[in-house]
Structure 1
Amino acid sequence: MYCRAMAYGTAPPVSPPFQRSDQLNRESSSDLAIRHGIRDVPTEWDDRINSDLKATILDEIYPSLWLVGQRSPVHVDPLHKQVLKNRAITIAEDPKLHLVWYYNTVYIKPLPVYLLNHAIWEAHLPEPVGEAPEHRSRYDKYRAALGFLRSYGLLIRHESDFIIAQRANLLPKYVSFQRFQIFIQPFRSCSDDQVSLRYQYGQLRLTRLNWAVRIIKFYRIISRKQTQERLPWNYQEQLWQTSQHIQKYATPLIFVFAVLSLILSSMQVAFAAREATTWDAFVRVSWGFSIAILVFAATLGVLVIAPVLLVVIVHYRSAVRRRTQ
């Protein structure tokens, strides 16, 4: 049974999207609850599923995500391509880090085994019908589950991806590639309308997300816009020690200091040479060399800043074009 378009109050329940014979986990609900450290009651299952699947911050800043990422569900590199890009696959249990990459690291949340169980979907992840608030809450949970599993369908497209996933402890060892392909196929056909807001985007860059939440938080402070969720100043902190902060910011500060010192020294030489009345040849050389250094420093600054500005402009225009398509 495949995912299909649905709207509140118009679609009958179609949950789970896979047949019972295709489930990959056959444990009882009570055993799965013990495995995940909860009691086998609906409220604790709801809390567990929400904490495992809902990326609250990304859902909240969704209207601004087009500036920092590509709104495309297929913008997810399969695992073998992540390796080709020299990215280390790092387990992250926090759903906000799922499919977020940072330089040579990509964070991926392991697939919760209860999502492989047909009975759990029937009991705790039914596709809700109606527009009552409690139905909307269940609908958000259901959409998050669909989006999360669709992301795994994109991460694991080849048998090599499957092998990498098992080596990285993203999947249970008892699952075979053939059975996984049968199970995951319905989720690959889910549309953006059926998944939660976060999963309408693929992988995202952590450095851009950090800047996005800072800018949005600062804007809310100066505009006095109150929201239910308070944004942090960093989407995910990466610098945990003072020495790391010094290493990160010292290099650009030293570069700026060196350039400014070079400019000031050249200006001093130029003014001193202009006022000198003896040794005309040395005065002319000093004057010319000082002007050359000033031109060199200005050119260096342009060469450093211009590519960065160009990349920002190109990415912004590309984001605007994709948004208007």
Structure 2
Amino acid sequence: MKNDHLPGEPRLELEDNGISEYLRSEFMTGILDDLSPYLWLVATQNSAHVSSLTYQVVRGRNIIITENPGLHLVWIYDKVFIKPMPKYLLSHAFWQFYLIDPNSTIPAHQREGIKKAALGFMRSYAYLIRHKSDFNLATNDDHRLLPKKIKHSAFIKFILHFKDIPDESVSSRYKFGELRLSRLNFWVTIFLGHFTYHNVHGYYSAYFARFFGPLLFIFALLSVLLSAMQVALAVGQPLNDGSWVVFAYTCRGFATSSIVGVALATAFLLSMFIFRSSRETIFALKDLHRKHRLRMTGSSP
């Protein structure tokens, strides 16, 4: 390294004593690593389950730049968070000097964790950028996921070396691909006791707005039920008096049908939710069992 600072990071000198802590903050994903035994409930148990950049766009997702390694490849609704690749990761000297050389200034126990996280991060880019169109997205000024002045052919030759890195060589988080933020927020509360993993709502109005739709739906159902019940009760007197008999029977039948219809619609929606949740859980359990069996037998997935 000819420069006296980390490539692309002029504030950090090569001999800076804080290089270890800096790299840890850049790549380590402590909470996700702690949650990794349960990440099969969050995502497909496949590290290659990462959509390319162009496919992210096809799926209607906006690419959001983040410097938080814990948000890299995390998605919610129409957004996917991606951490840009630092320039120094393209330097062989960086890998050799800091993460491979046993005489590195980074302590061995910290160096191994940083290296695994960095390798997982680099491997994710082998999936994110698969075609020239992906490369173009990564290098345009709207995203700038890759450093400037890098050629497509040179980058592909470089990144392909990371694609075949086994799961044993990366941190626990990168044994999985994309992660759904809504599930992370739920399961991190159950297993780690955190209030949330990441809150995307900066204002109370935005936070509570997501509940308006379901609440309006529930109120509409209750309104139909109450109206139908009132009609059913109100037609009792005309039936007893014998006047407007046909109309009263029609009203009572319509009211009863409305109640039954609301009940069936609610039961259908609940059953669909239970079915989809159960199917995903069963698939995850089967995949977990399959991977465990393969590990026991020493076979490859």
What TM-score results when the alignment is normalised by the length of structure 2?
0.87
Deviation at 1:39, TM superposition (A): 3.7
Question: Residue 50 of structure 1 is aligned with which of 1, 24, 27?
Answer: 24
Distance 2:167 2:215 in 1: 44
Aligned counterpart, 1:156: 129
Q: Is residue 2:279 matched to residue 1:290?
A: no
The size of the alignment, in residue pairs, is 282
AA aligned to 1:284 is Y
Contact 1:149 1:184 in 2 (8 A): yes
CA offsets 1:92-129 (integer angstroms, 9 cap, x no match): 10001101111211111000111112222222212769
Contact 1:102 1:207 in 2 (8 A): yes
Structure 1 vs Structure 2: percent identity of aligned residues? 35
Deviation at 1:64, TM superposition (A): 0.7
Question: Residue 213 of structure 1 is aligned with which of 188, 204, 208?
Answer: 188
Aligned counterpart, 2:298: none
Deviation at 1:62, TM superposition (A): 0.6
Deviation at 1:174, TM superposition (A): 1.0
Deviation at 1:182, TM superposition (A): 1.8
Distance 2:137 2:179 in 1: 21
Aligned counterpart, 2:201: 239
Distance 1:195 1:170 in 2: 21
Aligned counterpart, 2:59: 85
CA offsets 1:259-289 (integer angstroms, 9 cap, x no match): 1122122223223323542222232122211
AA aligned to 1:209 is L
Aligned counterpart, 1:22: none
300-309 or 76-85: which moved more? 300-309
Contact 2:41 2:281 in 1 (8 A): yes
Aligned counterpart, 1:323: 288
Contact 2:54 2:133 in 1 (8 A): yes
AA aligned to 1:306 is S
AA aligned to 2:116 is R
Aligned counterpart, 2:138: 165
Distance 1:213 1:55 in 2: 14
Aligned counterpart, 2:117: 144
Q: Is residue 2:22 matched to residue 1:60?
A: no
Distance 2:100 2:135 in 1: 28
For structure 1, list consecutive stretches of 5 or more residues without a partner in the other structure: 1-25, 221-230
Distance 2:209 2:153 in 1: 48
Distance 2:28 2:117 in 1: 6
Higher RCO structure, 1 or 2 (CA under 8 Å, sep 6+): 1
Contact 1:74 1:154 in 2 (8 A): yes
Distance 1:151 1:73 in 2: 8
Contact 1:127 1:139 in 2 (8 A): no
- The RMSD of aligned alpha carbons is 2.0
Question: Residue 83 of structure 2 is aligned with which of 85, 93, 109?
Answer: 109
AA aligned to 2:130 is R
What TM-score results when the alignment is normalised by the length of structure 1?
0.81
Contact 1:127 1:138 in 2 (8 A): no
Q: Please state whether the residue corresponding to 1:125 is helix, strand or coil.
A: helix
Q: How does 1:252-267 map to 2 (within 5 A)?
A: 252-267=214-229
AA aligned to 2:69 is P
Change (3 A) 1:118 1:214: same
For structure 2, list consecutive stretches of 5 or more residues without a partner in the other structure: 291-301
Q: Please state whether the residue corresponding to 2:80 is helix, strand or coil.
A: strand
Q: Please state whether the residue corresponding to 1:149 is helix, strand or coil.
A: helix
Aligned counterpart, 2:5: 31
